[in-house]
Amino acid sequence: MSYAKKRYLNFFAITVFTLVLPFITINGNHMLLLSFDRMEFHFVGFAFEMQELYIMPFLLMILFIGIFATTAIGGRVWCGWACPQTIFRVIYRDLIEGKIFNLRRVKNKQKKVDYTKTENKIKKVFSITLFGMLCLIIATNFMWYFVPPEDFFRYMKEPDEHVFMVMFIVTVALFLVYDIVFTKEHFCTYVCPYSRIQSVLYDDNTIQAIYDTNRGGNIYENGEKTIFKAKQLQEHEECTACEACVKICPTGIDIRKGLQVECINCLECVDACTDVMGKLGKKTLVHWGSTNEVLKDKKTEFFSMRNIMYYVAIAICFVLLVVSASKKEYFLLNVNKTTKLYDIKQNNHVTNNYLLTIQNRDKKAYTFDIKIVDNENFKIKRFKPFKLNADRRVKKVLILETKKRLFLSDKKDTPLEVKIIMFAKENPKEVFKEQTLSFIYPRNDSFK
């Protein structure tokens, strides 16, 4: 099977996976969701509140180290085989323009379409319209990773109430049309920073599309093509100069020139050369392999010291991610002071008011209560134990009081630390949280 067919199958699998993933839930939680509406992040069936995003650094480290490791080992395999830009461009260029409207030849991507013909202009309009409708579906699918489908379809019943969401989808769709139809592969060459990163990460063990100069001969010297000038290919040099590998390249490069930042490892040049050389009973001159394997006749080292360090770093981040995610948060507690710093009651008693937000994240109800830790100067004046059902959030008022005259300062109010513990009466040893509050005590001249 050619690499092109393998890529198309891979693109189909990725497309189906991306479309289906937002609908997959585990215990009511999505596989991947960043909801600003619910203020939650869902990952592989676990739901994390915004206060629990301590796992995000580990996810980002795995992502970036994984990109570096993938590039060092497999070159720009992401660009050619999984990048949305590449997938959408193949759909528009090869399927819509090539197969459906017959505007271009799939095996000659360098030949420009003649738009002086009225027929081609009409086909172009229809091709953009068709792709535009497809972009609306793509943008909607993208939105499902921020607004879950069950909420999205409910919101769409009242689009005038969710104008921002609708405008976001339309904006993404318009951007995709401009990017894929008009920017084309220039995005990969000039906009995407990944092409610049690759040149730093490549070495002789990196798998990439490589032209075999040992068999085919040197087509370029000092950056200039020499095959049709003074120097001609020798008899033992097998390149036929058919240019098939150049015509089929989506980014318009000549792979025989060597490594170039425009190469996205789509391997279409490998297929083209395989077809041509196969008719001559010979092996392809363009391979998917490492410099060591293709040019130096050495074995590719997938476990070089650099690669091992990548593997170790990813493994450490993954372990830290699992450990962090396994620390279950039974409930969330957020404490805010009210606008009034303090209140002086009769007999010089001082009180501070706090607003507590409590969310029960467990699957069962708890009865919550509060106690002060090792501080005889303060007591709880107002707070009663309450029962909170599973997946519920409630706001409660807490009032702390001190009856002692502390004589702290003649010049300014003094903040004092008071540690409290909120706990579930059903399981106080596991379901509890410590919180340090700031109790503002008035300066001395505030008292009568």
- Per-residue confidence band for 159, with pLDDT thresholds at 50, 70 and 90: confident
| Cα 92 to Cα 15: distance, rounded to the nearest angstrom | 15
356 or 222: which leads in pLDDT: 356
- Per-residue confidence band for 52, with pLDDT thresholds at 50, 70 and 90: low
| Cα 103 to Cα 14: distance, rounded to the nearest angstrom | 27
| Cα 414 to Cα 288: distance, rounded to the nearest angstrom | 71
Would you kindly state where each structural domain of the chain is located, as residue ranges?
1-327, 331-446
CA angle 41, 45, 51 (to 5 degrees): 30
| pLDDT number for residue 234 | 56
Q: What is the CATH number of domain 331-446?
A: 2.60.40.10
Phi, psi of 441 (to 5 degrees): -105, 130
Quote the percentage of the chain above a pLDDT of 70: 95
- Per-residue confidence band for 422, with pLDDT thresholds at 50, 70 and 90: very high
| pLDDT number for residue 223 | 65
| pLDDT number for residue 406 | 85
Check whether 197 has a pLDDT greater than 50.
yes
Q: How far is CA 151 from CA 143, 165, 344, 393, in A?
A: 11, 12, 48, 20
Closest CA to 146 of 49, 35, 42: 35
Q: Which amino acid is at 182?
A: F
| pLDDT number for residue 316 | 93
At residue 346, the 3 state secondary structure works out as helix
61 or 115: which leads in pLDDT: 61
220 or 214: which leads in pLDDT: 214
Q: How long is the chain?
A: 448
DSSP class of residue 183 equals I
- Per-residue confidence band for 109, with pLDDT thresholds at 50, 70 and 90: confident
| pLDDT number for residue 231 | 45
Angle subtended by helix axes 163-177 and 118-143, to nearest 10: 140
Residues 393-414: what's their mean pLDDT? Answer: 89
- Per-residue confidence band for 230, with pLDDT thresholds at 50, 70 and 90: very low
Residues 353-363: what's their mean pLDDT? Answer: 88
Residues 30-59: what's their mean pLDDT? Answer: 81
SS (HEC) of 88-140: HHHHHHHHHHHHHCCCCCCCCCCCCCCCCCHHHHHHHHHHHHHHHHHHHHHHH
Q: What is the pLDDT of residues 72-98, one digit of tens each?
A: 888 888 888 999 999 999 999 989 998
| pLDDT number for residue 83 | 92
pTM for the complete prediction? 0.75
Could you tell me the two tokens for 193?
Answer: 């920073």
| Cα 53 to Cα 324: distance, rounded to the nearest angstrom | 10
| pLDDT number for residue 228 | 52
Question: By mean pLDDT, which of 43-52, 82-91, 410-419 is the weakest?
Answer: 43-52
SS (HEC) of 372-431: ECCCCCCEEEECCCEEECCCEEEEEEEEEEECCCCCCCCCCCEEEEEEEEEEECCCCCCC
Check whether 149 has a pLDDT greater than 90.
yes
Mean pLDDT for all residues in the chain: 87
Angle subtended by helix axes 56-74 and 305-326, to nearest 10: 160
Q: Which residue reads 């995610």 in tokens?
A: 325
- Per-residue confidence band for 233, with pLDDT thresholds at 50, 70 and 90: low
Residues 235-243: what's their mean pLDDT? Answer: 78
